[in-house]
A and B are shown apart, each in its own frame.
Chain A
Amino acid sequence: MAGLLLWAITGLPGFGKYPGQYGDLINSVAVFERHVTNVVTAVNFDYRALDTLGEEYILFAAAIGVMLLLREQRGEPHYRLPEHPHIPIRRSEAGRWIGLGFIGVIIVFGIYIVIHAQLTPGGGFQGGAILGTASVLVYLTTEERIYRRVTPKWLVEVAECAGAGGYALIGIAALLAGGAFLQNVLPLGKTGDLASSGTIWLINFSVGLEVSAAFSMLYLEFVQEVPERTTKFE
């Protein structure tokens, strides 16, 4: 087996040499056709937008699966430990202060990555994942009560469904406007502007919304399984 793997590795093209044609073709064409400077986003959300639709729904289905599986356990009557209710786990002071300082930075950074999808590296998924970690940083620096109040369940669910449905609605709107499903039918604007590249920006916004809500929901479901009380002297 190891011999076969070694033989396969030595048969690969050299490190960094790209033998296909599609990459060079897209590089020469995408900036002028779609008025973007991030060609990866153009491929993901315009040339191959249908594949990204499927990818986003994978994350959606995974979040729903986690919610279904973890809801069963919460119905059990002996779920919470009976002694010492509401004693929070002690967090370290240095970690708390640094974490609290970073929450705002992470939120701004996540929003920047989402809305500059067609200009800088990143996009909807990356910015959404970063925004999800901002919500869990609240849990890591304060206690579970405050975390559950800051990310309410109904808001996260509504945001996730709005993001997932918004992607399909943009595609249907493109159908109604006379093009193909998910075709770029909005005005393209100037390259390098924030409001360029038509539907790519809208799709990225809705994907960012959906991914951040899905990650927040995953963390919410997982964290609710952890008992926020341990022995009395931590």
Chain B
Amino acid sequence: MTAFQAVLLILLAAGGTVVVLTRTPRKQVIATSFYGLLLSLLFMATQAPDVALSQLAVGAVAVPLMLLVALANVRKELHK
């Protein structure tokens, strides 16, 4: 295990804790997106670039975007 991978694993543990400890859903979505970016870096560090590209496109862009749109939809229901 190289030093880069070890540092990334420690950062991932910290990132997961941050995502769980964030309270408001909007900030949680941003934290999830950043966590997805860290995960993609770990996949690159373990020599799996295909998985890293997929994780970047899906876990750092698509899923947080859909979560944000779902949150906006819930806000619309509340304001109606």
A residues whose Cβ falls under 8 Å from a Cβ of B? 15-16, 40-41, 78, 81, 113, 121-123, 125-126, 129-130, 132-133, 136, 215, 218-219, 222-223, 225-227
Docked Cα-Cα span, A136 to B60, in Å, equals: 14
- Cβ A122 vs Cβ B57 within 8 A: no
14 contacts between A and B (CB under 8 A): A40-B50, A113-B53, A123-B50, A125-B54, A129-B53, A132-B62, A215-B62, A218-B66, A219-B62, A222-B65, A222-B69, A225-B69, A226-B69, A226-B76
Whether B53 pairs with A121 at a CB distance below 8 angstroms is yes
Given the known inter-chain contacts A130-B57, A133-B57, please indicate yes or no for A121 contacting B62, CB distance below 8 A.
Answer: no
The interface bits of chain B over 14-47 (1 if a CB of A lies within 8 angstroms of the residue's CB, else 0) are 0000000000000000000000000000000010
Q: What is the bound-complex CA distance between A123 and B79, given in angstroms? A: 44
B interface, over-half SS: helix
Q: Assign chain B's interface to a size class.
A: 20 to 34
| Across-interface contacts of A126 in B (CB, < 8 A) | 50, 53-54, 57
Q: At the interface, is chain A mostly helix, strand, loop or mixed?
A: helix
- In the complex, the chain A residue whose C-beta lies closest to that of B69 is A222
Cβ B61 vs Cβ A133 within 8 A:
yes
Write the chain A residue with the least CB distance to B52: A121
Is the CB–CB distance between B69 and A223 below 8 Å?
Answer: yes
Tell me if A129 and B65 are in contact (CB < 8 A). Answer: no
Contact (Cβ within 8 A) B50 A121: yes
